[in-house]
Structure 1
């Protein structure tokens, strides 16, 4: 009787691409993939450890899996599994923990599905994670996350990712193109590029330090893949987003005008303490360069509140800086202390109450920025890619510049691109639209 396996992914797009690849490995071995929350013989949880909350959520997911099947064989992989394998293995119900080098050999470790009193650990020193495994997700009919790079050589003082994923290394260009073609063959219309630090692409192919290709080489090559209608860069460091790349996107037929650029702080003092590789002036330059060529481009920003030493003045400096920038939305992260980072030992600890207050203020600013960006798009014509879910009688989709729209449900629209006019912002914050070509009926 074929065994069933379920998956749950915490964290980033990169984790989703890797979970999808691992699920295909199971299917190749004869396992049946099932949805999390349904009975399964094996449950694989891909962990994150960017914040303390992500660690805590792992325990919750384990309990949920046990409610469905108390005898399920539970496996932990991912960043938390690499950083704290023994701690994870000690959680009641966890049977196997695989580190950074072992997760892609997961099916080799499953011989006996008997429950263990204590989780079995197979981990490595992170220096051993010097090889590359390509990944992509094809769970969604409309878009796929394509991993092009892994690891990071940056030493930001708050971040554990280099400890969890190792050195910066990239996929070979021909393999990226092969995976992109594999995605296209699934009739998926959009690819989102993902990695830990994708602007560093071309560095450390399979552990060496030859710069055979650059990020610009990568985007130019992906432009030529048949069948893919849209390519989205996702997150890229401001110091690695070069003018040549911005120029290329501005003139591209496939790369969309949407950038997500981590800032972390609007204070140069804090950027130095964080060991970021730019100052706020460079960030302004990147935003202005994008907007000069693509006035309707969507720009998202990562920002951290409550970093050690962040005074009220520092926070207001960040708030005012973001308020004045022509950006579209924020991803706000409340700083949490992580073991083995320099920031965890710094003076000037910000109280939890202040962290929460500052986070709330920036989330409010984000809502204001998104609303203002949407309002600027009203009356304009864009192209939307429709998704596959019927949500309260509506079908949703995203324009090329990441405006989320809705229109009455029509199954014929799923996974299709249409030219639409943005009409008005609905009460739920999404944008209602009308079709430019009358032959589309709703």
Structure 2
């Protein structure tokens, strides 16, 4: 009887996601397929019959995080199947295949068919045969109160340092009607904020919809979603039309843009093949800040690109201190296999990269603190994200303009948008009241 019950018991799977919001979406898409086929999902630190590691390879640090996650799964020695998928696989498949305990590697092109691939390779995991699982929309984001929807994949920009076009291929946009259908399903399942994600969302076009500035109102007109957020978008694609759409969107479009800078030096930007100057970038930010009250703007900066001089770095510092950028994501440059910059001379020493990164992070702390201070006495609209205090039942939330807020006690834990009064600002977060 015990053996019979064990055979009927559903197999358990866990997914670890490293990297971007696009990866997060694709993990949930794979989870949807596996759930439809009768598998139960558990946390990655729990015992499971199948571990999926959805990898990233955008930096050397991302590679290291992937290897660590793989090791955590393989060291369990519980007979579980370990499958590694995604960008790191497409970058270095042989290296990952040779890792002890890895049973299968699957590139990005196999993610949409993961159920069929796993059923063919490991049929003992499944109760049901995959039929339509690969065409399922994502309807749930495990332990998340906000949802992401993929609108495109791939990139045609070919920046000198970037491996993404190699591991994800050319730009492919998703049909607008399909995007809306998935958003409506998520909205029906209680998600009030949806983030539009992709590698290069500013290049979106499909049939009569010619740009991201046309896609956003199309979604709002054809869905019940409470609010949309745009993920990272390139500087040259934040144009007056998009700015006007965000301004007119009111509470249904988040007052937040993450616009990668990568360097404040025009010389370095040209070497990177970035199609704008620092002046173009700052002029655009001036327009955004003038047009949209309360908008928060974030930026990426790469520190230590080959040949980056002291004066080049000072240009990045100048832009970071412009008062137009509210926070920074600072990345230490690392060679990516096969990229143009990996073959460039004049590599910057790790010591200098570390010092420069510290300088920019200190600037980011100051600018973010100023952004927080502006919100005191304001009313904000936030979604709860994670527990802040187990004993007091407090949650951290995220405002529409992407500021961290400590929610009042006994408020949060769901997916709804909460109306909160800001009563104070600390160094790294707001304090809310009702």
TM-score normalized with structure 1 length: 0.88
* Structure 2 equivalent of residue 245 of structure 1: 242
C-alpha deviation, 1:165, in angstroms:
0.3
Q: CA deviation at 1:398?
A: 1.7
- Residue in 2 aligned with 1:143? 146
Measured in 2, the distance between the counterparts of 1:226 and 1:152 equals: 27
Counterpart of 2:32 in structure 1 is 24
Say if 1:135 and 1:163 are closer, same or farther in 2 by CA, change over 3 A: farther
Quote the offset at 1:434 in angstroms: 2.2
Conserved 8 A contact 2:209-2:215: no
Matches within 5 A, 1:210-221: 213-221=210-218
Q: Contact (CA 8 Å) 2:33, 2:136: kept in 1 or not?
A: no
Deviates more, 1:410-419 or 1:393-402: 410-419
**Which residue of structure 1 lines up, in the alignment, with residue 12 of structure 2?**
4
Aligned-pair Cα RMSD in Å: 2.1
Residue 241 of structure 1 deviates from its aligned partner by: 1.2
Aligned position for 1:119: none
Higher RCO (Cα < 8 Å, 6 or more apart): 2
- 1:45–1:77: 8 Å Cα contact kept in structure 2? yes
Question: 2:254 aligned with 1:235, yes or no?
Answer: no
Match of 1:182 among 185, 188, 191: 185
CA displacement, residues 163-194 of structure 1 (integer Å, 9 cap, x when unaligned) = 00000011001000001101101111100110
Structure 1: state its 5+ residue gaps. Answer: 116-131, 436-442
Deviation at 1:387, TM superposition (A): 3.5
Q: 1:264-305: CA deviations, max 9, x gaps? A: 000100000000111112111221111111131000001100
1:264/1:431 CA distance change after superposition, 3 Å: same
Matched, 1:173 2:150: no
Write the distance in 2 (CA, Å) between the matches of 1:340 and 1:353: 25
Change (3 A) 1:135 1:293: same
1:418 corresponds in structure 2 to 418
1:336-380 alpha-carbon deviations (Å, 9 max, x no partner): 011101101112110010011111111111111100111122122
Q: What secondary structure sits across from 2:405 in the alignment? A: strand
| Aligned counterpart, 2:286 | 288
User: 2: CA distance between counterparts of 1:317 and 1:109?
Assistant: 49
> Given the alignment, which residue of 31, 43, 49 partners 1:41?
49
- For residue 391 of structure 1, report the CA deviation from its aligned partner: 2.7
Q: Contact (CA 8 Å) 1:7, 1:43: kept in 2 or not?
A: yes
CA 1:214 to 1:85, structure 2 compared with 1: closer, same or farther past 3 Å?
Answer: same
Distance 2:299 2:244 in 1: 20
1:37, CA displacement in angstroms? 1.1
Match of 1:317 among 315, 318, 342: 315
141 and 186 in structure 1: CA distance in 2 versus 1, 3 angstrom threshold: farther
Alignment partner of 1:56 is 2:64: yes
SS in 2 for 1:264: coil
Change (3 A) 1:133 1:25: closer
Matches within 5 A, 1:248-397: 248-253=245-250, 254-387=252-385, 389=387, 391-392=389-390, 393=392, 394-397=394-397
3-state SS in 1 of match to 2:380: strand
**By how many angstroms is 1:322 displaced?**
1.3
Compared with structure 1, are the counterparts of its residues 71 and 388 closer, same or farther at alpha carbon in structure 2 (3 Å cutoff)? same
SS across alignment from 2:260? strand
Asked whether the equivalents of residues 223 and 255 of structure 1 are also in contact (C-alpha less than 8 Å), the reply is: no
Q: Is the 8 A contact 2:32 2:139 kept in 1?
A: no
Q: Structure 2: which 5+ runs fail to align?
A: 1-7, 125-134
Distance change (3 Å), C-alpha of 1:248 and 1:112: closer
| Distance of 2:412 and 2:150 partners within structure 1 | 30
SS in 1 for 2:352: helix
Measured in 2, the distance between the counterparts of 1:182 and 1:219 equals 17
Question: CA offset at residue 9 of structure 1?
Answer: 0.4
Q: Kindly state the Cα deviation for residue 66 of structure 1 after the two structures are TM-superposed.
A: 2.8
User: 2:165 is matched with which residue?
Assistant: 162
Aligned counterparts, 1:93-132, within 5 A:
93-110=101-118, 111-113=120-122
**TM, length-normalised to structure 2:** 0.90
Cα distance in 2 between the residues matched to 1:387 and 1:344? 38
Change (3 A) 1:296 1:310: same
Q: Size of the alignment, in residue pairs?
A: 412
Query: Over residues 123-142 of structure 1, what are the superposed CA-to-partner deviations in whole Å (9 max), with x where a residue is unaligned?
Result: xxxxxxxxx99767622452
Q: Alpha carbons of 1:147 and 1:420: their partners in 2 closer, same or farther (altered >3 Å)?
A: same
- Residues 1:133 and 1:238: Cα distance change in structure 2 (over 3 Å): farther
Where does residue 128 of structure 1 map in the other structure? none
CA contact (8 A) 2:408 2:432 kept: no
1:135–1:353 distance in 2 versus 1, CA, 3 Å = farther
